[in-house]
Amino acid sequence: MRTTDSRTGMLTSRFEETFGATPDGVWQAPGRVNLIGEHTDYNEGFVLPFAIDKTAKVALRLRSDSTVRLLSTFGGHGLVQDDLAGLEPGSGRGWSRYPLGVAWALKERGVQVPGFDLLLDSDVPLGAGLSSSHAIECAVITALNELTGAGLAAEELVLATQRAENAFVGAPTGIMDQSASLRGAKGRAVFLDCRDQHVDLVPFDAEASGLVLLVIDTKVSHSHADGGYASRRASCELGAKTLGVKALRDVGVADLVEAATLLDDTTLRRVRHVVTENDRVLQTVDVLARQGPAHIGRLLDASHASMRDDFEISCAELDLAVETARASGAIGARMTGGGFGGSAIALTPVAQEQQVRDAVVHAFAQAAFTAPDIFTVTPAAGARRLA
Ligand code: ADP
Ligand code: MG
């Protein structure tokens, strides 16, 4: 065992109590916040997420048979047991689908994955749009990639976790979340081209500009497996097909005039969101490099308006969070993640942080919405071994 902090030490001793042996190691992978670039990933476009300082940690030990035993420190989950031999898409229940899906996807790639015992401890909020599911998958795949000696590159791990979510869990998600979790770095946002997985790590140091990035978890639960996400993907595919391009990535802002003559109203609005959002990601990267975080507020605001009006994936709670944050001092705010609930982000001067928090809590109470959870995030390291 290498370095241990107290949480790692607790995880190791809890693992030993549960499974009666020392883990082979402890790995962690972060959740992510998407700064900008929503629903552009599966359109082969650009995204700008970052790995956050909230992580899933797994203590894991390979076994000599094909049994998998899984336990989460998260309340209400008992020990789950399964067998890798009989695994097929759709098997497993609850959170066990994430580690099982990863093992299945690695096996599909020809990696010999034996059974394993695993203890999970995560402080990434569930279903808040911060990708707690990918934090689990990325921690597990990083561990298995190392312990099996598979040595797959980050780009391949990204595709394997996507395969796990798409084919095994049945959630039609893209490659953004796991790219941020696997490839993120401290103080950097991950500027990802989803067409070829090219990554540029872009400095994003809000703190140095006197800003904090607040996450406002609306507590409205979302699920990627639900119809809204799939129907938006279908609209994007229809748009690309009608416009005769491989993906909406290939449509520029200037092409929207002609697109308006070819697409029905709903499809046009869906397409317009993706096309303008791609452009906003490029602008954000440019503004961050030339002027710094204090100047990206208008792009965050425009992104939210586009998701609310054109892509129609916001909800009353997200809109209220964004509007209230802005009205009480945030320099820019938008919903983040897949939509239909989850979290909003608000880039806020440190001096206004408390004011924004208080105003949002007050506005939610006035509207008789469930009290939101509000916290700050900073760009942190991507998936790695801890011990
Ligand atoms: P998101 O990834 O945006 O948080 P998802 O619906 O994709 O939302 O994933 C949430 C699911 O991940 C939960 O329903 C649960 O199955 C699983 N999960 C996340 N964190 C934990 C945890 N600490 N323990 C057990 N399961 C977890
Ligand atoms: Mg998820």
User: Could you give the count of Cα atoms lying within 13 Å of 247 in the half-sphere of its Cβ?
Assistant: 16
Q: Is the pLDDT of residue 145 over 80?
A: yes
CA of 225 to the centre of ligand 2 (A): 9
Q: Is the pLDDT of residue 369 over 50?
A: yes
Q: How far apart are CA 382 and CA 179, in angstroms?
A: 9
Whether residue 226 lies in the annotated active site: no
Whole-prediction pTM: 0.94
CATH number of the domain enclosing 96: 3.30.230.10
**In this predicted model, what pLDDT tens digit does every residue of 57-100 receive, in sequence order?**
999 999 999 999 999 999 777 999 999 998 999 988 899 999 99
The number of the ligand 1 atom at minimal distance from the alpha carbon of 223 is: 6
Catalytic option among 82, 117, 121, 177: 177
The pair of three-digit structure tokens given for residue 183, joined into one six-digit string: 């490839």
Please indicate, yes or no, if residue 1 is contained in any of the structural domains: no
Amino acid at 132: S
The structural domain count of the chain equals 2
Q: Is the pLDDT of residue 209 over 90?
A: yes
Whether residues 230 and 114 share a domain: the answer is no
Residue of the CA atom closest to atom 17 of ligand 1: 95
CA of 126 to the centre of ligand 2 (A): 8
The number of the ligand 1 atom at minimal distance from the alpha carbon of 122 is: 23
Whether residues 194 and 222 share a domain: the answer is no
Q: By the 8 A CB rule, do 252 and 47 touch? A: no
Q: How far apart are CA 295 and CA 12, in angstroms?
A: 44
Note the pLDDT of residue 128: 84
Q: Is the pLDDT of residue 164 over 70?
A: yes
CA of 61 to the centre of ligand 1 (A): 22
Residue of the CA atom closest to atom 9 of ligand 1: 133
CATH number of the domain enclosing 243: 3.30.70.890
Please indicate, yes or no, if residue 345 is contained in any of the structural domains: yes
Note the pLDDT of residue 277: 98
Q: How far apart are CA 113 and CA 232, in angstroms?
A: 35
The number of the ligand 1 atom at minimal distance from the alpha carbon of 72 is: 24
Please indicate, yes or no, if residue 233 is contained in any of the structural domains: yes
Which range of residues forms the domain containing residue 188?
6-202+380-385
The number of the ligand 1 atom at minimal distance from the alpha carbon of 97 is: 16
Q: How far apart are CA 306 and CA 330, in angstroms?
A: 19
CA of 209 to the centre of ligand 2 (A): 31
Mean pLDDT of 38-54: 97
**In this predicted model, what pLDDT tens digit does every residue of 234-285 receive, in sequence order?**
999 999 999 999 999 999 999 999 999 999 999 999 999 999 999 999 999 9
Please indicate, yes or no, if residue 267 is contained in any of the structural domains: yes
Whether residues 325 and 358 share a domain: the answer is yes
Mean pLDDT of 349-375: 98
Whether residues 169 and 238 share a domain: the answer is no
- Which protein residues touch ligand 1 with a CB less than 6 Å away? 72, 74, 77, 94-95, 120, 122, 126-133, 136, 223-224
b/e map 29-51, b = 16+ CB within 10 Å: bbbbbbbbbbbbbbbbbbbbbbb
